[in-house]
Amino acid sequence: MVGVLGAFAELDGATGAIEEIKREGFTDFDVYSPTIRHELEHAVHPPQSKVRVFTLVGGLLGVTFGYWMAIWSSEYWPLVVGGKAIASWIPYTIIGFEVMILVGGLSTVAAIFILGGLPRLTRTIGYDPRFSGGDYGVFVRCNADRAESVESIFRSHGAGEVRRER
């Protein structure tokens, strides 16, 4: 017995259920929706996403590495071209910029994976294909004795289907 899954056809049903679940003191639950719905986000009221940290760090690392690579390799084998300074930082800004975008972007993607828990290859408990279609879902982890109350909350908010996951 892992928990109770409720599938809602209507958005406000799901939000209502979530708020009530929280009032009931349940903390460990997942919410599913076919697309971004800020109503849900407000109902769940999660903490601020950490993605921006990844992005910032990645960007800084990138720009540093870009400049360093260009300047180091120029100094490593100093050859004059066109009478220009051997390590001329102005053109190297482009390298720095592009590498910043590259590393920053990739670390942002990494952020989705790490924070969003992707790729998730096994755990399918508490998920239903409908959630990628039209329905909203709430999955509350609880033991059997509290399942009753959760089911009743779901039904009271017009859940299309309520299911116990085991």
Partner 1 sequence: MATIARPYSDPAGQRPNVPSADIQLPAVKSYEQVDEEIIGTLRPTGKWFLGLGLAIFCMLIGAAAWTYQIYWGLGQAGYEPPVMWGVYIITFVFWVGIGHAGTLISAILYLFRAGFRTTIYRAAEAMTVFAVLTAGLFPIIHIGRPWKFFWLIPYPNWRLLWPQFKSPLVWDVFAISTYLTISTTFLYIGLIPDIAVLRDRETNPVRRQIFAVLSLGWRNSEREWRHFARAYLFLAAFSTPLVLSVHSVVSFDFAMALTPGWHATIFPPYFVAGAIFSGFAMVWTIIIPIRKWWNLQHYVTLNHLDATAKVVLFTSLVVGSAYFIEFFIAWYSNVPVEQEYFWNRVFGQWWWAAWIMLTCNMILPMSLFSQKLRRNPTWLFILSLFINLGMWFERFVIVVPSLSHEFEPWQWSDYAPSWVDMSFLIGSFGWFFMWFLLFIKQLPVVAIAEVKEIIPPKLRGTVDSHGASAHGGH
Partner 2 sequence: MSTTSGSSGLKRREFLKVLGATGAAAGTVGCSSDSVERLIPYLNHPDQTVPGVSNYYATTCRECAAGCGVIAEVRDGRAIKLEGNPAHPLNQGAICSKGQAALQGLYNPDRFRGPMMREGERLVPITWDRALQELNTRLDQAGPALANGVFINQHESGSFPVVLDQWLATRGIPGHLSYDADLNLGTIAAHRQAYGVAWPTIDFTQARLIVSVGADFLDDWGAAVPQQLNFADARAQLQNAPRFVYVGPRRSLTGLNADQWIPCRPGSELAIMQALGGTGTASIAQAAEAAGVEPTLLQGLADELRGAGRSMILAGTRGADAMEVALAAAALNQALGNVGVTILPGSPATAFERAASYADVRGVVEQMASGQVPVFFVRGANPAFTTPPALGFAAAMARVPFKVSFSSYPDETTLLCDLILPDHHALESWGDAQPVPGLIGLQQPTMDPVFNTRPTADLLLLLTGGGALSAAPLAISGATSPGVEVPGAAALGSQVVPAPAPGAVTTTPREHLYRDWLIGRIPGGAAALTSALQTGLIAGNVGQSAAAVRPAPAPVAALPAIAQTEGDFFFHIYPSPLLGTGSGANKPWLQELADPVSKIAWQTWIEIHPTRAWDMGIDNGDLVTITTGTGSVTAPAYLYLGIHPDTVAMPLGRGHTAYGRYAAGIGVNPLIAVPAAEDAQSGGLAYSVTKCRVTKTGGFDDLVTTEGSARQHGRGIAQAMTVAELMAPVTDDHGHDIPGVPSYEPLPGLRSPVAADAQGELADPDSKDKGMYDPQHWSKMASRRWAMTIDLARCTGCSACVTACYAENNIPTVGAPWQGRATSPLTWDERPGANIVKGREMTWIRIERYFEGGEDYGSNFDTRFAPMLCQHCGNAPCEPVCPVYATYHSPDGLNVQVYNRCVGTRYCSNNCPYKVRYFNWFGYGEPNRRQYAFPEPLNWQLNPDVTVRGKGVMEKCTFCVQRIREAEHRAVAEGRLVEADEFTTACAQACPSRAIVFGDAADATWSVAQLATDRRAYHVFGDLSTYTAVVYLKSIIHPGPATPVQA
Partner 3 sequence: MTRRRKWAAVPGLAVIAVIATLLSAYSGAQTAQQAGAAQQAGAAQQAGAAPAPLPTVDEVRASIDTVAERGPWAYSGASSPQGYAPEQPINFPHPVHVQGAGMNCLYCHFSANKAPDPGLPAVATCMGCHSIVATGSPEIQKLTQYWSDSLPIPWVRIHKVPDYVQFPHQRHVNGGVSCQTCHGEVQEMPRVFQYASLNMGWCVNCHVERQVRYDCSTCHY
Residue ranges in 73-132 that form contacts with partner 3 under rule CB under 8 A: 76, 79, 119, 121-122, 124-125, 127, 129
**Least spacing, CB of residue 121 vs partner 3, in Å:** 5
Whose Cβ is closer to partner 1: residue 38's or residue 145's?
Answer: 38
Letter string b/e over residues 31-67, b meaning 16 or more CB atoms within 10 A of that residue's CB:
bbbeeeeeebeebbeeeeeebeebbeebbeebbebbb
* Whole-angstrom distance, CA of residue 73 vs CA of residue 60: 20
Establish if 25 lies at the interface with partner 2 (CB under 8 A). Answer: no
Among 25, 82, 117, 133, binds partner 2 (CB under 8 A): 82
Whose Cβ is closer to partner 1: residue 25's or residue 82's?
Answer: 82
* Whole-angstrom distance, CA of residue 136 vs CA of residue 20: 16
Residue 13 partner contact from partner 2, partner 3, partner 1, none using kind-dependent CB cut-offs of 5 to 8 Å: partner 1
Phi, psi of 145 (to 5 degrees): -70, -30
- What one-character DSSP code corresponds to residue 131? G
Whose Cβ is closer to partner 3: residue 112's or residue 125's?
Answer: 125
Complete DSSP assignment for 151-166: HHHHHHTTEEEEEEE-
Residue 61 partner contact from partner 1, partner 2, partner 3, none using kind-dependent CB cut-offs of 5 to 8 Å: none
Binding positions for partner 2, rule: CB under 8 A: 75, 78-87
